[in-house]
Amino acid sequence: MEIKVGLIGEVKEKVCDGNTAKEVGSGSLEVFATPAMIALMEKASCVALEGYIDEGTTTVGTKVDIEHVAATPLGMTVTVRSTVTEVDGRRICFAVEAFDEAGLIGKGNHERFVVFSEKFMAKTNSKGK
């Protein structure tokens, strides 16, 4: 199958002790952490591509341009939607948005590249040898 503009991935995660700014070290408050939101955005982008990536390949995140516009407290659920906006060879661009029950909490753009898994890992594992 071919990766096309308009593919959408969506994921949800409840805000808990393990994904707060205080826990992940990105701040001192018990609110949904920006790094956790970005990780969820990457996950939603991967979900959008499920079934569209050839065997032996995967995608790796290469760029994020994200605004975290509102805090989310413990107990709320964050929903992230990622939409493919551009496909240029192996480069795939996404528009990402994050919401909690009260509304928009984050938005921006994300970029991933299709790589050959074995070749990528061999190159990575050869570092420092």
- Could you give the CA distance from residue 65 to residue 103 in angstroms, rounded to a whole number? 20
Catalytic residue (choose from 34, 59, 72, 83): 34
pTM of model > 0.85: yes
Domain ranges across the chain:
8-125
Catalytic residue (choose from 42, 59, 110, 111): 42
- Could you give the CA distance from residue 111 to residue 32 in angstroms, rounded to a whole number? 23
With a cut of 90, say whether residue 129 has pLDDT above it. no
Collect all residues with Cβ–Cβ distance below 8 Å to 72 and sequence separation of at least 6. Answer: 15, 31, 32, 78, 100, 105
What is the domain class of 8-125 according to CATH?
alpha beta
Catalytic residue (choose from 13, 20, 59, 68): 68
Q: Please say if 42 is a catalytic residue.
A: yes
**In this predicted model, what pLDDT tens digit does every residue of 88-124 receive, in sequence order?**
999 999 999 999 999 999 999 999 999 999 999 999 9
- Could you give the CA distance from residue 27 to residue 43 in angstroms, rounded to a whole number? 22
Q: Please say if 30 is a catalytic residue.
A: no
* Rg from Cα positions in the chain: 16
Q: Could you tell me if 9 and 59 are in contact, meaning their C-beta atoms sit under 8 angstroms apart?
A: no
Neighbours of 7 (CB within 10 A): 22
Q: Please say if 68 is a catalytic residue.
A: yes
**In this predicted model, what pLDDT tens digit does every residue of 57-84 receive, in sequence order?**
999 999 999 999 999 999 999 999 999 9
Phi-psi region of 104 (alpha: psi -120 to 50; beta: other; left: phi over 0): beta
